[in-house]
Structure 1
Amino acid sequence: MKSAGLHHRLPSFHTILLLSAAIRVALILYSEWHDAHSVVKYTDVDYRVFSDAARFLLSPGPGDTNRAQGPLARLLAGPNAPLGLNLTLGDPYTRETYRYTPLLALLLAPNAWLHPSFGKYLFAACDIFNGILIYRLLVSDILPGIARKDTKSPGKDKKGVEEGGRAREHEALATLYSAIHLLNPLVFSISTRGSSESVLALFVLLTLYAALRARWDAAAFMLGLSTHWKIYPLIYGVACLGVIGGGGAATKRPATWRAYLGTWVNWRTVRFGALSAGTFGLLGVGCYLIWGYPFLYESYLYHIHRLDHRHNFSPYFYLTYLTYPAADAPTHDVVPLTLWSRLVHSPLVSFGPQMGLALGMGLVFGRRKQDLVFAWFTQTVVFVIFNKVCTSQYFLWYLLLLPLLLPRLETTRRRALAYLGVWIGTQALWLSEAYKLEFLGRNVFFGLWVRGLVYVLGDAWVLGGIMGDYVP
């Protein structure tokens, strides 16, 4: 770890925090001016969807118009409501294309009565808090663990001096790594445009924060909340179970399959699974009782059979585009598909390799608490690469964990530049072709798909390099 004198050359963490906060506030203020004067909006379409959903939730209509459809909501809003409560809630799913938990619309309710940009400030604040969590994890958990392994015990007379200097170096390194998140243009541009990814990122980091401190009940609760918010954090549960069952510091695999099975099925793992699933279930049941089937369908069932033929990085998008049913096609012209064709055309075709790789990496790498960040990072990367829909927004899912992983990587500057070059280059190659489709209207779907395959191969190569550079 070449970090001598690093604390003399870097700004303090508080300076980085103030700079990152100023950037986000400036961009939010600019977005308000830009949206008022330009046809092409800075604000993401999703933010308008969130805001509309929040307004619908707060403004139930007369009769059954825009009313929460759950059994509990109907009971409390009816003339026979207990204690004369007569509580009426609107339905956020009245807003078409709102396919998130109703808790997000509830969280953004101040958009309707306080300020339209409240949600952006909230998302930006989550960004900042995520940077603070990354810094604290680096200072208190990750960097000290590396130092204990890599440094020899100093003499008695030098122990205090060595520890003080090491603490300053840890703070400087933590500032450097957390700045990768706080000052990342992709991170602050997405949150200030109105994407809610930073809220989920906060839940994921809080789950990791609890797990690295072996507070497994808190980690289980946060994992259940994260999975309710968006389903993909479910994959992290596998790695957590391996750490819990193995005692958190296992270095050798059990000798027999019975012993191996015992590390996965025991009181500690069952407790964690029950608490996590129970949190997810209670949140789901509560939302269903209030908002009914629309919540169940839009938040979960829709995503199972979702067909998205719009261009994206996914290797599956071209097949979806070719087989996507035309809106004006007469039903009598539709040719029945064979069983094999239905299987190939199914949106679930990506589910097997995606979940097989993501869960498999959790099984393989989720054995020690010290390797939990590495396990989660590899799981997330393969989940994103092989997802049936993949956009730049999804890259934030694994970039969130990168600052926590970097201290455990031993690589050369040349390899690091190669990884960065391939990661950026494959995206630039794809975007240059997507520009022709999006803005010039050219039929370049096949070429875009080929470049998407190049992106998949490039990112897989980068992931393989990082896995090779990781020091367990």
Structure 2
Amino acid sequence: MTSLHLHHRFPSFSTVLLLSVGIRVTLILYSEWHDARSVVKYTDIDYRVFSDAAQFLLRSGPGNANRAQGPLAHLLAPLTIGDPYTRETYRYTPLLALLLTPNVWLHPSFGKYLFAACDILNGLLIYQLLVSDILPGITCQPSNLPAKDKDNTGNKQVSQNARDQESEYKALATLYSAIHLLNPMVFSISTRGSSESVLATFVLLTLYAALRARWNTAAVLLGLSTHWKIYPVIYGVACLGVVGIAGSGTRKDQGWKAYLRTLVNARTVQFGVISAGTFVLLGVGCYLIWGYPFLHESYLYHVHRLDHRHNFSPYFYLTYLTYPASTSPSVDALPLSIWSRIVRSPLVSFGPQIGLALGTGLAFGRRRQDLVFVWFVQTAVFVLFNKVCTSQYFLWYLLLLPLLMPRLATMPKRAMLYLGVWIGAQALWLAEAYKLEFLGQNVFLGLWLRGLVYVLSNAWVLVGIMGDYVP
């Protein structure tokens, strides 16, 4: 790494951190002022859903109304635990509603401050990972002094070089972490009341443990992350490859049987059991209290979900064309054609999505140092081919981008091209979505075609990033 004296050119990390805190607090205060005076709210509708679910959780109704429905709920009757799923469209773990109960008894904006605090914590984790793990692992700056000249003066020079190198690492880490902390998409989504930052904290903590080879801790955190939202399960495949290689002592060139042994051995079984056990224990605990509504709303609903509303996904238009068959009684009596059944099947989107996400994890998940790259690629393809895709999901892979960038050999002009294509594809789609959402024009076909442009454009950017990665 060539010393550019970046620590003399950029503000300190503490300055960036204070600015990030100030932006988030200001936006939360503004949201309270804005929402009290405007019909169009700053606060996201999901935040109202979270708050209502927390209120239902705290205040159970008389008789069986709004009471937890799990097998052991009657044992907890004295605690009067309510059912957060009484709130329609609440499709998250009950732990989120439990976490946001201070919205009811402390302050309505407690959840926003909590989500913003997770944003800041995520920035701290990114900075720490860059300084202690990623940047030092890329290159070391050797001393230019000959061995015979390394007397006291030489030792002082080496010590000074080490301090300069550390300052460079901190400056670079500040620059990269600022991409997360000062990203308008990140701080606007959290201050509007989205809970994505909480899951992001769990994911980063899992990565933090994995990069330090604390696999039991990583397994527990991965189980927690998957309970919170199911998609982090894809990271387990990459972790198994790294854990297996470390414990098998086999080389990559020993054939497919040796490769299989790296995926199935004592260490990988231990990791899998701990991770799956954590997920199952949390799920069983929630089921015993809240019963089937927990299973359906948190997991089963997402398997057969049919969302005909416009979104970036290339599947939305096909779902829209066949959607009445699932809701209209008059159409329900008619047999569905084979084509309609295929289009409505979750396997249409789930197959390519999970195949690519798990396949890239198996293909690239071999070294601990490459976990950031592998997780980024897995998350990007998972989001890109998801049957429902909104801007909020972009945060899942943008979270890992500051950790990946130091290992990308991307020229500035090409980086700007990637950014331009990524933003341009979204702008092209949004321009057509505006006609549908606000002008009421029938532009479904045009919107779907622009969704295909979005998929192709993002796939091109992802392939370019993969080609620029330097292991």
Contact persistence 2:181–2:187 (CA under 8 A): yes
Match of 1:99 in 2: 91
Q: What amino acid sits opposite 2:244 in the alignment? A: G
> Alpha-carbon deviation of 1:154?
4.5
Match of 1:303 in 2: 302
Larger mean CA deviation between 408-417 and 178-187 belongs to: 408-417
Match of 2:111 in 1: 119
Contact persistence 1:374–1:405 (CA under 8 A): yes
Answer yes or no: is 1:35 the counterpart of 2:35. yes
What pairs up with 1:415-454 in 2 under 5 angstroms?
Answer: 415-454=414-453
Answer yes or no: is 1:377 the counterpart of 2:359. no
Alignment CA distance shift 1:252-1:449 (3 Å): farther
Flag structure 1 segments of 5+ consecutive residues without an equivalent: 78-85
- SS of 1:130 mapped into structure 2: helix
Alignment CA distance shift 1:93-1:409 (3 Å): same
Contact persistence 1:73–1:88 (CA under 8 A): no
Contact persistence 2:250–2:258 (CA under 8 A): no
Q: What amino acid sits opposite 2:266 in the alignment? A: W
Contact persistence 2:325–2:332 (CA under 8 A): no
Q: In the aligned structure 1, how far is the partner of 2:5 from the partner of 2:248?
A: 33
Q: What amino acid sits opposite 1:406 in the alignment? A: M
What TM-score, normalized to structure 2?
Answer: 0.96
> Alpha-carbon deviation of 1:263?
0.4
Match of 1:271 in 2: 270
Contact persistence 2:325–2:331 (CA under 8 A): no
Identity of aligned residues (%): 77
CA RMSD of aligned residues (A): 1.6
Match of 1:25 in 2: 25
What TM-score, normalized to structure 1?
Answer: 0.95
> Alpha-carbon deviation of 1:193?
0.1
- SS of 1:325 mapped into structure 2: helix
Match of 1:356 in 2: 355
Larger mean CA deviation between 451-460 and 330-339 belongs to: 330-339
Aligned mate of 1:88, from 80, 84, 94: 80
1:244-294 Cα shifts (integer Å, max 9, x gaps): 111189995241222111100111100000000000000000000000000
> Alpha-carbon deviation of 1:414?
1.0
Contact persistence 1:248–1:367 (CA under 8 A): no
Q: In the aligned structure 1, how far is the partner of 2:113 from the partner of 2:47?
A: 12
Q: In the aligned structure 1, how far is the partner of 2:315 from the partner of 2:431?
A: 19
Q: How many residues align?
A: 462
Q: In the aligned structure 1, how far is the partner of 2:292 from the partner of 2:365?
A: 36
Q: In the aligned structure 2, how far is the partner of 1:144 from the partner of 1:6?
A: 16
Q: What amino acid sits opposite 2:38 in the alignment? A: S
Q: In the aligned structure 1, how far is the partner of 2:469 from the partner of 2:327?
A: 53
Contact persistence 1:377–1:398 (CA under 8 A): yes
- SS of 1:393 mapped into structure 2: helix
Match of 1:239 in 2: 238
Larger mean CA deviation between 22-31 and 255-264 belongs to: 255-264
> Alpha-carbon deviation of 1:327?
8.0
Flag structure 2 segments of 5+ consecutive residues without an equivalent: none
Q: In the aligned structure 2, how far is the partner of 1:170 from the partner of 1:249?
A: 34
Q: What amino acid sits opposite 2:92 in the alignment? A: Y
Q: What amino acid sits opposite 2:68 in the alignment? A: A
1:213-260 Cα shifts (integer Å, max 9, x gaps): 000000000000000000000000000000111118999524122211
Q: In the aligned structure 1, how far is the partner of 2:347 from the partner of 2:282?
A: 26
- Extract structure 1 runs of 4+ deviating beyond 6 A: 248-251
> Alpha-carbon deviation of 1:329?
3.3
Alignment CA distance shift 1:288-1:154 (3 Å): farther
1:300-332 Cα shifts (integer Å, max 9, x gaps): 000000000000000100000111016873436
